Amino acid sequence: MAESPITARGKDFAAWYQDVVLQGDMAEPAEIVKGCMVIKANGYAVWELLQRELDDRFKATDHQNVYFPLLIPQSFMQKEAEHVEGFAPELAVVTVAGGKQLEEPYVIRPTSETIIGHFFSKWIQSYRDLPMLLNQWANIVRWELRTRMFLRTTEFLWQEGHTAHSTHEEALEEVLRMLDVYADVAENVMAMPVIKGMKTKSEKFAGALRTYAIEAMMQNGLALQSGTSHDLGQNFGKAFNVQFQSSAGQLDYVWQTSWGVSTRLIGGLIMSHSDDKGLVLPPKLAPKKAVLVPIYRKDEEKGPVLEAAHRIAKEVGAKVDDREGPTPGAKFFHWERRGVPVVLELGPRDLASGTIVLKRRHTGLKEVCGQDALAAKLPEVLSQMQQDLYTTAKERLKTNTVLADSIGDVEDILRQVTAEKGGGQFVMAHVKDDPVCDARMKAFKATVRCIPLVDEYDGPGKCIITGEPVDRRVVIAKSY
RNA sequence: AGCGGAGUAGCCGAGUGGUAAGGCACGUGUCUUGGGCACACGGGAUCGGGAGUUCGAUUCUCCCCUCCGCUACCA
């Protein structure tokens, strides 16, 4: 297997990541212009596959897709106090339109809780209207100071679910259900293991009661927040006057949730599996699962090889790279870089023996197999590869997670790992959910990533900062 | 946004007060094809933008823009 970037590239991980995304002058998945991202064909195809996986799950849990405007009246933004304050620094505001100064500016949506709250109040009157389970696929704008391809761009694509419920219990169930959907897609589709947990109070979404998240570990040991699910309580219900009449005839405010994942997932995917040769895509998200490269020397070989190539490719659902210009070597390189899981090689030798060469992207191993056996073998290989990628990533997460029982240890571990590898580790320690503790982490550039929903360690203990009792270890790490 | 660095062809990159080397990529031809073929020829640059100094500025000065690193902010 190609050496993992965590050891191969050390501190150059960021540069390596840029290389994989840009692929030199080929610029395959994406490029960036003034902080905004152009997603190219290979990157967008992955997003489309990911979208479908997510959308199928949303539909299966009774959600409906809708679309709300990109431009939100500024006054809407200002109705929920904590929400305005949290988002104010990163808002893009439209003040001039049609050549005139606007009486009321629009903000370009940084998220849609406000405008959806406005419509919830028009659409919801009775408990019979609940739950209202909506989702929208959209682009949003947040004026970030420092952008990084896929991970943080000024404009990005995402999915935002917004739901309204008659009780807090039901809303909380929804919050956790959707967190599970995200974890399912991350682990079983992206082959990216995640830790489900709750954000600390100071890290929660502006305007939420609580934020839940999935955290993944990249190859260099840094954490990536990969999806969030918010318990909004009645905050937006009250701000937008979303009231309903219960079966008992009483008026109450709705309990809302919102949840989202973005094109950041593609960044996580790249940083989870790719190597120095380029992209590595898990088969379930590979736009092309297999490419067949025909090899021939002489004109009389060309006909039979191409004929067999197309026949076999059709049988197994592969694409034939029958371009005339590039040599087979150039083609191997081309597809390897783009993360195609399996490259098949078919030449005169194979025609003579009825075989075909199969190369796996993630291990680089070549294997000769019978042409007749390929149709049965390919799906197996792909499914094994999907599993392998997950196992490798899971193993990495495990070996790079360590326990610590004092704040000094946490700091030492993170400092040492950063010095050696330029990355990080997940440090599990007992820490109270308190802004004081969050602030203490900041001193060494780490954060409490989440308080895991499932405690896989030793249960309760004393906070390593305040000494107060807490019920489990939390994840501390440096992050993107 | 603060501090630091940098902008020369699609990409990388040398260099100069007298309009610019090399490599990759691109085009054509020959040759090749089981891991980025080779060779030959060829096209492509208002040297980030504006102003100033100068006989002459890509080079020096000033302003602006953009990009990169650290700080900061976040899906």
Residues of chain A with pLDDT under 70: 1-12, 23-28, 422
Asked whether residue A328's C-beta has any atom of DNA/RNA strand B within 7 A, the reply is yes
Residue bearing tokens 């009483």: A250
Residue bearing tokens 């087979």: A328
Task: Return the pLDDT at A24.
Answer: 55
Task: Return the pLDDT at A1.
Answer: 29
Amino acid at A196: K
Task: Return the pLDDT at A325.
Answer: 79
Q: Interhelix angle for A371-399 vs A264-273, to 10°?
A: 100
Asked whether residue A14's C-beta has any atom of DNA/RNA strand B within 7 A, the reply is yes
Query: Strand order in A71-73's β-sheet?
Result: A71-73, A100-108, A92-97
Are A342 and A358 spatial neighbours (Cβ–Cβ below 8 Å)? yes
Task: Return the pLDDT at A23.
Answer: 65
Our measurement of CA A395 to C1' B59, in angstroms, reads: 55
For strand B, which residues in window 86-115 of chain A come within 7 Å by CB?
A: 86, 89-90
Asked whether residue A323's C-beta has any atom of DNA/RNA strand B within 7 A, the reply is no
CB atoms within 10 A of CB A81: 12
Task: Return the pLDDT at A99.
Answer: 77
Q: Across chain A, how many H-helices and E-strands are there?
A: 15, 25
b/e per residue, A401-415, with b = 16+ CB within 10 A? beebeebeebbebbe
Does ipTM top 0.90?
Answer: no
For strand B, which residues in window 290-309 of chain A come within 7 Å by CB?
A: 295-297
Q: Interhelix angle for A168-188 vs A41-60, to 10°?
A: 140
Mean pLDDT of chain A: 90
Give the nearest nucleotide to A145, CA to C1'.
Answer: B73
Q: What residues contact A59, with CB distance under 8 A and at least 6 apart?
A: none
Are A332 and A280 spatial neighbours (Cβ–Cβ below 8 Å)? no
Give A257's strand partners. A163, A231
Q: Which of A339, A332, A342, A336 is nearest to A380 (CA)?
A: A342
Task: Please state, in angstroms and rounded to a whole number, the distance separating the CA atoms of residues A92 and A97.
Answer: 14
Are A136 and A159 spatial neighbours (Cβ–Cβ below 8 Å)? yes
Protein-covered nucleotides of chain B (CB closer than 7 Å) are 1, 10-11, 24-25, 32-37, 66-75
Give the nearest nucleotide to A297, CA to C1'.
Answer: B33
Residue bearing tokens 């490029």: A31
Are A135 and A159 spatial neighbours (Cβ–Cβ below 8 Å)? yes
